[in-house]
Amino acid sequence: MPANSFSAARPAAISLAEILPWAVFGGLLLAIGFYFVGVEQGATAFFNGASVHEFVHDGRHLLGFPCH
């Protein structure tokens, strides 16, 4: 078999209509994660108590968010 008989592989085309729902979903998850790590504490808290704050406390400092 000759070495040049293989066709070049091309990546499959993905349309914007296929990517858009996943991009919106990923952005929503990112925004929710950002809220819980960066904002959820004290006066702006959706949940009573400090359980969410304590759960994300080390991640908050790792990402540079001050909390105390």
- Residues 9-64: pLDDT tens digits? 888 888 989 999 999 999 999 998 888 777 776 666 777 777 777 787 888 888 88
Determine, yes or no, domain membership for 14: no
Provide the number of structural domains found in the chain. Answer: 1
- pLDDT at residue 4 greater than cutoff 90: no
Q: CB pairs under 8 A, 24+ apart, for 64-67?
A: 65/37, 65/38, 67/41
Range(s) of the domain holding residue 60: 33-68
CA torsion, ordered 47, 52, 53, 55, to nearest 10 deg: 170
Cα–Cα distances (Å) from 50 to 10, 44, 54, 66, in that order, read 52, 12, 6, 15
- Looking at residue 18, its pLDDT comes to 92
Determine, yes or no, domain membership for 38: yes
- Looking at residue 44, its pLDDT comes to 66
| pTM as predicted | 0.61
- Looking at residue 26, its pLDDT comes to 97
Determine, yes or no, domain membership for 50: yes
CA 56 to chain centre: 15
